[in-house]
Amino acid sequence: MNKGTSLNNDTSENMKRSDEPIWWGLFSAGGVCFAVFVPAAILFIALLIPAGIIAPEALSFDRARSMLFSLPGLIFIGVVICLPLFHAAHRIRHGLHDLKLGKEHLNKRVTYGGAALLSALALVGFAVGIL
């Protein structure tokens, strides 16, 4: 018989709206940043400059301070650190599910909590720097 399975009873418990749109929204925004901004950031900050291939002075202490503790710096923190963090948290959470590791609600707390904590740290650091 094809009627009356649990799926067809719209008890409110069953039809509960997922809170996923929030995380998915952050994940998507972070994904765009990861794809568009992060490659350039890694390329210059973590590869070309440290390896001395171009402009080793580009990241001198003063230059770095003035660049980071400014409005563009805040944007940088947002699009290169915070949003990608949530992107990563989302994928790690689902990856754990894929690998059948941990417990769903716990994984959720740890991953998004972690992303939130690190983002907060970055913003606090920025605030301290700018003041």
Residues at the site binding other proteins, with contacts judged by CB under 8 A: 1-3, 5, 7-8, 10, 14-18, 20-21, 24-25, 31-32, 34-47, 49-52, 54-55, 57-59, 61, 64-65, 67-68, 77, 80-81, 84-85, 87-88, 91-92, 94-95, 97-101, 118, 121-122, 125-126, 128-129
| String of DSSP letters for 75-97 | HHIIIIIIHHHHHHHHHHHHHHH
Residues in the chain: 131
| Buried/exposed 72-107: b ≥16 CB within 10 Å, e otherwise | ebbebbbbbbbbbbbbbbbbbbeebeeeeeeeeeeb
Minimum CB–partner distance for residue 33 and other proteins (Å):
10
Minimum CB–partner distance for residue 106 and other proteins (Å):
16
Minimum CB–partner distance for residue 28 and other proteins (Å):
8
> How far is the C-alpha of 24 from the C-alpha of 41, rounded, in Å?
24
Minimum CB–partner distance for residue 8 and other proteins (Å):
6
The answer to whether 60 and 97 are in contact (CB under 8 A) is no
